[in-house]
Structure 1
Amino acid sequence: AIIRELGGIPIVANKINHSNQSIKEKALNALNNLSVNVENQIKIKIYISQVCEDVFSGPLNSAVQLAGLTLLTNMTVTNDHQHMLHSYITDLFQVLLTGNGNTKVQVLKLLLNLSENPAMTEGLLRAQVDSSFLSLYDSHVAKEILLRVLTLFQNIKNCLKIEGHLAVQPTFTEGSLFFLLHGEECAQKIRALVDHHDAEVKEKVVTIIPKI
């Protein structure tokens, strides 16, 4: 609150444009800490587009990218600012597929926030996503990733139910997340996980299978 009252948020946020990656990372981490406060989020939201540009144009798996993704995750815990990420959803999936384990987990945390909001469902389903996305449902995938992609599937299906399968059925193009999640390959992969060695994964799959 003191930083906000002293007008410090813009001062910190201006450092995210710094050419020095270490300063950039520190500024993003400072905004992360500040973004826990809802009042601060109102001031921080004007920098969301800038953070998105940095996250998607900067070096993959870098400390700056991870700090940016964490800030975007904090900013999307509630539905208030999620719409600001609409045009970056395809980019998020691209980073999900190319990033390392830590990056994948952070992107999934962000996507899970979006997937709980029915207003974001159509945007998620429209996203152009490479078919390699389905490999995240393979049994050998790390549990922290596997559980999250299963929850992503579950959340989107739940939102479709709430929305009555999106009252006016939009046209989804080939190569969209809609086609991947509604395809037979996805269904087969999820059904195969019912024999997974981890009890938590098994339990999650059992709740999802009736939705397939």
Structure 2
Amino acid sequence: SSERRVKGAQDVLVSSTREDHSVVEGSEVVVEEISATDPSSLSHYEDNLREAGALPKLTSLLSAHRMALRVGQSITYPAVINGVISCINNMAMNQHNQKHLKDCIPALIDFASTDKTDESVQLASLQALTNLSVNSEYHTPYTKLVQQLFEYLDHGGHSVKLQALKVLANLSTNEQMVPHLLAAKAPACLLSLLSPDTETDLLIRWTTILANVIQTVKDRGLTATSLPHEYKAPSPETTYTALYGHVTLQKLKSKVFVLCRHGNTDIRHQASRIHRCLT
């Protein structure tokens, strides 16, 4: 039953006081128990899991796998690490759990960014990072991830691209993160994504991100000199230049003007926000 699964997972997590390499060996048990639990049933037991100290143990499991990755080992059993990340993702849906899981963020960023994991691990990591980026209080570590998120827009499959956009959408609501978005190397698809033919789920999020960023630039009077130096691309390649360069700015205005008549209400709204800020 779901109750037995969660209780078993709780017992394994809470009683585990061994060294990290032993924790990894036992991770399959936790993964099987919590991942096999229906999310609606799991939510009923989340308070018990949290109060019993299970969430730091999930962080320890993830950190152990991360350590193996950082010393040059490839992920031998992606299903195991996917399960650990899935557990974290499920628990992170509850905002009360997020402060106990924030220490997972650097490890999740590593898994989302490295080429030593397959796409399933990257996608699972991005899903967890999406839930943990709802609260702007935890955004600071994400500055390291911004460039990779933009690269996923150019090279990721649809699912990875969509999840990257969801993370970027959360980050774009934070005025403190906008300069970091502007400092990153612009995705090559920055303008092409603004086509009326782009899949609706992608286009809604991309127009929302750009509307948030451009609104913040206007409200705060940001310029090229406002961009942080950490993780900054060469000036001609930054997202700021891609948005506000003389040639690209005119193309951007034309693109969003067309989208102001899009059939989707949300896309029309976000395109109109962009157009108003640029004119």
| Interval containing the TM-score (normalised by the shorter chain) | 0.7 to 0.9
Kindly provide the amino acid, as one letter, of the partner of residue 146 in structure 2.
Answer: I
The Cα shift of 1:131 comes to: 2.6
Q: Aligned to 2:237, which of 175, 179, 182?
A: 175
Aligned to 2:3: none
Any conservation in 2 of the 1:118–1:162 contact (CA below 8 Å)? no
Any conservation in 2 of the 1:35–1:74 contact (CA below 8 Å)? yes
The Cα shift of 1:79 comes to: 0.9
Any conservation in 2 of the 1:73–1:113 contact (CA below 8 Å)? yes
User: TM-score, normalized by length of structure 2?
Assistant: 0.68
Kindly provide the amino acid, as one letter, of the partner of residue 195 in structure 2.
Answer: D
Rounded Cα–Cα distance in structure 2 between residues aligned with 1:152 and 1:127:
14
Larger Rg over CA atoms = 2
Q: Show the 5 A alignment for 1:133-144.
A: 133-144=190-201
The Cα shift of 1:125 comes to: 0.4
Q: Which stretches in structure 1 are left out of the alignment for 5+ residues?
A: none
Q: Show the 5 A alignment for 1:174-193.
A: 174-182=236-244, 183=248, 184-193=250-259
Rounded Cα–Cα distance in structure 1 between residues aligned with 2:108 and 2:155:
19
Q: Which stretches in structure 2 are left out of the alignment for 5+ residues?
A: 1-46, 66-74, 229-233
Q: Aligned to 1:9, which of 44, 55, 66?
A: 55
The Cα shift of 1:31 comes to: 0.6
Corresponding position: 1:194 with 2:260? yes
After alignment, is 28-37 or 4-13 more displaced? 4-13
Any conservation in 2 of the 1:126–1:178 contact (CA below 8 Å)? yes
Any conservation in 2 of the 1:54–1:65 contact (CA below 8 Å)? yes
Corresponding position: 1:210 with 2:276? yes
Any conservation in 1 of the 2:256–2:271 contact (CA below 8 Å)? yes
Deviations 1:52-84 (A, max 9, x none): 111111478722211110111111101111011
Q: Which has the higher contact order (CA 8 A, sep 6+)?
A: 1
Q: Aligned to 1:42, which of 59, 74, 99?
A: 99
Number of residue equivalences: 212
- The root-mean-square deviation of aligned C-alpha atoms, in Å, is 2.5
For residue 90 of structure 1, give the secondary structure of its aligned residue in structure 2. helix
Rounded Cα–Cα distance in structure 2 between residues aligned with 1:83 and 1:120:
8
Rounded Cα–Cα distance in structure 2 between residues aligned with 1:129 and 1:82:
20
- When residues 173 and 11 of structure 1 are mapped into structure 2, their CA distance, relative to the original with a 3 A threshold, is same
- When residues 139 and 167 of structure 1 are mapped into structure 2, their CA distance, relative to the original with a 3 A threshold, is closer
Kindly provide the amino acid, as one letter, of the partner of residue 57 in structure 2.
Answer: I
Any conservation in 2 of the 1:115–1:155 contact (CA below 8 Å)? yes
After alignment, is 189-198 or 121-130 more displaced? 189-198
User: Percent identity over the alignment?
Assistant: 25
User: TM-score, normalized by length of structure 1?
Assistant: 0.88
Rounded Cα–Cα distance in structure 1 between residues aligned with 2:224 and 2:198:
35
Any conservation in 2 of the 1:82–1:114 contact (CA below 8 Å)? yes
Deviations 1:86-135 (A, max 9, x none): 12211111112211222111111110111011111111100112333321
Any conservation in 1 of the 2:256–2:272 contact (CA below 8 Å)? no
Rounded Cα–Cα distance in structure 2 between residues aligned with 1:145 and 1:37:
25
Q: Show the 5 A alignment for 1:61-80.
A: 62-80=119-137
Aligned to 2:144: 87
